[in-house]
Structure 1
Amino acid sequence: MIVVWLIIIGAAAGFIATRLMGMETDLVSTIAIGVLGAVIGGLTLRFLAVVSGWLGGFVGAVLGAMALIWLWKTYGPRGR
């Protein structure tokens, strides 16, 4: 059941982050960005103890996904 919630939250966070960053991705990439962003953002926010609870985890997921997109655009492979 945890995996299902991770995918749902990851999809929502990835969708919001990709739209805020102006990036069009397919469903699998959006979910992957959201899940990885959730891990990055969740660990960061929990470590800093800035925000707690479900809302804090969601905000952390969106911020982490946005950071991942920024890193990908900055240091990822260049398009043609």
Structure 2
Amino acid sequence: MPFLTLMIIGAAAGFLATRVMKLNTDVPTTIAIGVFGALIGGGLLRLLVWSLGAAAGFVGAFLGALALIWLWRTYIR
């Protein structure tokens, strides 16, 4: 089922991409463009989400450390 879904989404994405870029292609080429574009775009998007997730973890740790230092200076010292 995921293969069929990839083909349908790839066909739709390829159709839209070829129309936006004003490229006249046959149906198999349009589907191939969409499927390979989905693989490339999906990989890049996963990499972006992973890297932003790591950066968000660092920012969260930094803010938590700042809060802990503030609490320590305010209430313990």
Aligning the two structures, in what range does the TM-score lie when normalised by the shorter sequence?
0.5 to 0.7
Identify unmatched segments of 5+ residues in structure 2.
51-77
3-state SS in 2 of match to 1:24: coil
| SS of aligned partner of 1:12 | helix
Question: Quick one: distance in 1 between partners of 2:25 and 2:36?
Answer: 15
Which structure has the higher relative contact order (CA within 8 Å, separation 6+)?
A: 1
Look up the match of 1:20.
Answer: 20
Alpha-carbon deviation of 1:40? 0.4
2:7 corresponds in structure 1 to: 7
1:31 maps to 2:38: no
- Equivalents in 1 of 2:13, 2:46: separation in Å? 17
Runs (4+) of structure 1 moved beyond 3 Å?
A: none
Higher Rg of the two aligned structures: 2
State, as a whole percentage, how many aligned pairs show the same letter.
60
> Cα RMSD (Å) of the superposition?
1.2
TM-score computed with the length of structure 1 as normaliser: 0.60
Question: Larger helix proportion, structure 1 or 2?
Answer: 2
Letter in 1 for 2:15: F
Question: How far is the alpha carbon of 1:46 from its aligned partner?
Answer: 1.1
Deviation at residue 48 of structure 1 after TM alignment: 0.2
TM-score (norm 2): 0.62
What displacement does 1:3 show?
0.7
